[in-house]
Amino acid sequence: MNWYLEAWKKYAVFNGRSRRKEYWYFILFNLLVSMLLGFIDSMTGMYSFEAGIGLLSGVYTLAIIVPGIAVGIRRLHDTGRSGWWLLIGLIPFVGAIVLIVFCVQDSQPGENEYGPNPKEVMA
């Protein structure tokens, strides 16, 4: 839970580096919260089949756009890549696979152009 909150504390910080734990816990908790809110939307009648999203899950999705992009960019920085690589996700199917591969890779050891290794700083 601390890693999820850490990503929220850095809401719009697009520089620096993020560990795998911070990134993947952020993704996991957002998935769980989105599923829960989707369930609540469907049970309360706030789900719109025409739009394909409910009121609560839609508001939550809007709230996590900026921190999601920020933590994704910081994760790419941790692997030694520019944050612009996040745009490869716009390529259907292949882009998502490439981003997953980048995000599961270990941190670049030592300091890189984006800052010190967060593993070494936290330890």
| Distance in angstroms between the alpha carbons of the first and the last residue of the chain | 18
pLDDT of residue 114: 93
Q: What does pLDDT average to over the chain?
A: 92
* pLDDT, tens only, 77-106: 999 999 999 999 999 999 999 999 999 999
User: Model confidence at 68, in pLDDT bands (50, 70, 90)?
Assistant: very high
Contact 30, 64 (CB under 8 A): yes
Q: Which sequence spans correspond to the domains of the chain?
A: 2-112
Q: Determine the Cα–Cα distance for residues 59 and 53; give it in Å rounded to an integer.
A: 10
Out of 49-63, 74-88, 107-121, the most confident range is: 74-88
